[in-house]
Structure 1
Amino acid sequence: MSQLTITLDDKLLHAAQEYARQRGQELDALVAHLLQTTVQPLANPPAPARPLSPRIQRLFGAVQVPADFDYEKVVNEAIQERYGA
């Protein structure tokens, strides 16, 4: 395991130590966990989505909607119409 030295503002260091203490952790374990949860997703990107079939790809751009189209509003109106208020 490697060692790292960082420089922190005194207030931040004391706050971080208190935060770790309240959670029953050592500060170095807390920092390691925070780095792991931040960096690990970047190191292991999610698997790419399944490619669209050619039939679906041909539909792309077939329907034009205005730039100010509010999808949520349309969905909510359809729900209201179907199920009532």
Structure 2
Amino acid sequence: MSQLTITLDDNLLQAAQEYARRNGQELNAWVAQLLAEAMQPATDAPADQPARPLSPRIQRLFGAVKVPADFDYKKVLDEAMRERYGI
């Protein structure tokens, strides 16, 4: 097994160590697990579900913006790009 040295903000390191301890893991094992999960290929999840679980912070954003049922995101994006770049 190889070693890796990373530089973290003191507060982040302390929070990560605390999180790992609370979850009964060593920091090295927890970081290795995070890296392994991040490198997993996307699964064939249904189109309406993300391949990986979303953080609670992102989950709270669902439903924050109400749009009409016939909202055409691609059309709005295209118009915004044309306006911004003068196309």
TM-score (norm 2): 0.48
Which protein has the bigger helix share? 1
TM-score (norm 1): 0.49
